Every structure is written in C-alpha cells, then in structure tokens.
Amino acid sequence: MTRWFNDVFQFHNPWRHSKRRSAKYHEKPYVGKYKILYDLGYGSSGIVYMAMDPKTHHRYAIKELSKSRIHLQSRSLDLFYPHRKLEATEQPSFHQERSAPCKRRQVFKDSSCNEAALMQQLHHPNIVRLVECINEPQIDKFYLVMEMVSGATVMDIQPFTVIKTYDDSNCRMIFRQLVAAVEYLHSQNILHGDIKPQNILLTKEHQVKLIDFGSAISLDTMSSSFFKGNYTGTPAFMAPELLRKGKHDPDTSIDIWSLGITLFCLHEGYLPFESPNILQLYEKIRSSRAPRLTKESPELQDLLDGLLCNDPEKRLTMPEIKNHPWYLRDT
C-alpha cells in the first residue's frame, strides 16, 4: 500500500500492528494465482497480505481466514437456528480445488464465511471491493482477495495517546463519505459492527474506503439473543446499549454511535472513553454523556450530542445526520 504524507493529512500503517515480512514467512509463496509479497498486518479476524498477480502486476490485499474457526462459528449459529438449511446448490464446499470468483448474490450464507457472504453483496465506491474467494483444500485456510487501496488509515488511534488531528473541513470530507458507505450498508440490512479510524482508508484521491467486515452482521439472519452474546467489535467504540444487561435488538443505531466516536477522534485526536480496566471502560460508556470538544465548534458539538446520545431511541438517524448544519456546511 502506497504511503503518502503532506501537511494536511496524517497517515499511519494501513493495518493494525503492521510489520512487513517477506513471503518466506507464509506457508506458500502463492495463493491461487497471486504471489504473496509481504504482510500488511492484521484485521479483526485474520492476517492480511500484500499480493500480486504476476501476469498483470496488479496488487491485491489478501485476507487469510481459518476454516476451523469459521466452522465453529457456524456450529454456534446452528444452536440458535436449528431449522435453517442451505439448499444443496447453495452449499459451499471446502473440498473444491478452488472457489470460483465471487459474483453478486452468489452468497455463502451464514453457515460458511460470513465476511465473504456479506462482502460479495456490496458494491459501493466507499467500501473496499471483494475480488475473489479462494479455498485451499489441503490446509485450514480460506482467502479473501480484495482490491488494493493506495493510501492508509485515516488515523491510528490508541488508548491514552493524543495524535495529530484533521481540521474541520477535512473531518467533514471524510465523515460525509463514511456516512455514504454506512448508509448503503444499512440499506442492505447490514451492520458493519467495527467502525473506527483504523478501518477507514483514504486514497491519494481523498476517497474513503471502509474495510474489515469481520464483525459485520446481517439483520436478516441475526436474532437479538445471538446478537447480545456474540457481538464483536472494538470496546472503546461499542454503543452503551450493547454493554447493558437484558436483551437489545440489533439495529442501525449501533453503527451511528461508532460514527460519533470516530468523528470525535478525527477532530480531537484521542478516544473519548478510556480506562486500563475493561469493566471500568464499559461502565464509563454505559453511564456516558456526549464528550465535550476541546476546540470550539458549536455545530459539531451539537452533531456529536446527537450521534453519542446514550438512548438509542433518541440517537440521530441517517436522514437527520445528512440534514445537520455541520454536515451541510460548504467549507
């Protein structure tokens, strides 16, 4: 992934814990037709490699997943959906020589690779594109081949650190594109589940790309009971209703909260809720009020108050976000 820097934008390693290693650390120098070049780092559910098609010299990001882990997740789902069955023609096989390139609506359902099943339905300029799914039948590996984005994460936010921020105009530019991506996901009844600066890439052309669908959830298949006990994501970005006792029906307000935390980080350069103890962090979020900005910006503060409303019923909706004065401002 190309690194580029200037006085306006500050970029960081494109994937968490990124540490370049040569292909010799991988089990094989090739995955399908793609040559593994080096590690990019780790997503929420697997390692990510930089790879190249030797014929075209095009570069791709390849995410490596564990089939045994996928099958364990599938068995957990079966406990909640004992009657769900895949039609024989739709049942994916991990014993094929290689899977065919992913096509729209050729979905693996939730009994196989949830991340692949959801990603191959998505076609949006602000969401990273899934190119192909590859199965290696002799090993416990499954690969997602994705487009390579020239750029890096918008911010590598870490607990108890303050880093360089974006000005109001650039926060708005990033946030608008992120809202467009999330609004599209919600129109497809999909929750991203892990919106944060590290999962937002920005290209040379200043185009946002939302990545890492390892925590994504389809609202068409997930019940509230499954959702409550199995939700994954980054604790500092979790909505307070996820951390309270009792059932919570999954809805789009969860991603709205994460949008608010992300916007705060871009503008302020630090996390609004922090604690060295995870239980104390959860308590801070559960009893939270919208954080105050250190930089005077009444319109942005009003937007954050709506995004980070502790009551999900009163939290801003997508139409309300897009009609907010700060969002609509020209500069």
CB 65 within 8 A of CB 46: yes
89-93 contacts at long range (C-beta below 8 A, 24 or more positions apart)? 93/135
Residue pLDDT, tens place only, 263-321: 999 999 999 999 999 999 999 999 888 899 988 789 999 999 999 999 999 999 999 99
- Provide CB contacts within 8 A for 108, sequence distance 6+: 92, 114, 116, 117, 120, 133
Domains of the chain plus CATH, in order, are 23-147 (3.30.200.20), 151-328 (1.10.510.10)
Instruction: Provide the pLDDT for residue 83.
Output: 40
Give the range among 14-18, 246-250, 290-294 with minimum mean pLDDT: 14-18
- The interaxial angle of helices 253-268 and 168-187, nearest 10 deg, is 160
Which of 156, 194, 212, 251 is catalytic? The answer is: 194
> Which residues does residue 39 pair with via DSSP β-bridges, in sequence order?
49
pTM score > 0.85 for this model?
no
Least confident range of 82-96, 153-167, 180-194, 235-249: 82-96
Q: DSSP letters along 281-299, please?
A: HHHHHHT--PPPPSS--HH
The question of whether 7 is a catalytic residue gets the answer: no
Instruction: State in Å, rounded, how far the first CA of the chain is from the last one.
Output: 30
Q: Rounded to an integer, what distance in angstroms lies between the CA atom of residue 234 and that of residue 262? A: 12
Written as one string, the DSSP assignment of 179-214 is HHHHHHHHHTTEE-S--SGGGEEEETT--EEE---T
**How do residues 123-151 score in pLDDT, each as one tens digit?**
999 999 999 999 877 778 889 999 998 88
Sign of the alpha-carbon dihedral angle for 209, 175, 331, 165: negative
In the chain, how long is the greatest CA-to-CA distance? 59
Read off the amino acid at residue 40.
L
Cα–Cα distance measured from residue 124 to residue 31, given in angstroms and rounded to the nearest whole number: 26
* Secondary structure (DSSP) of 217-228: EETTT--HHHHH
Rounded Cα gap, residues 197 and 271, in angstroms: 11
- Counting residues of the chain whose pLDDT is more than 90, the rounded percentage is 53
- Based on C-alpha coordinates, what's the Rg of the chain? 20
Which of the four pLDDT bands, split at 50, 70 and 90, describes residue 92?
very low
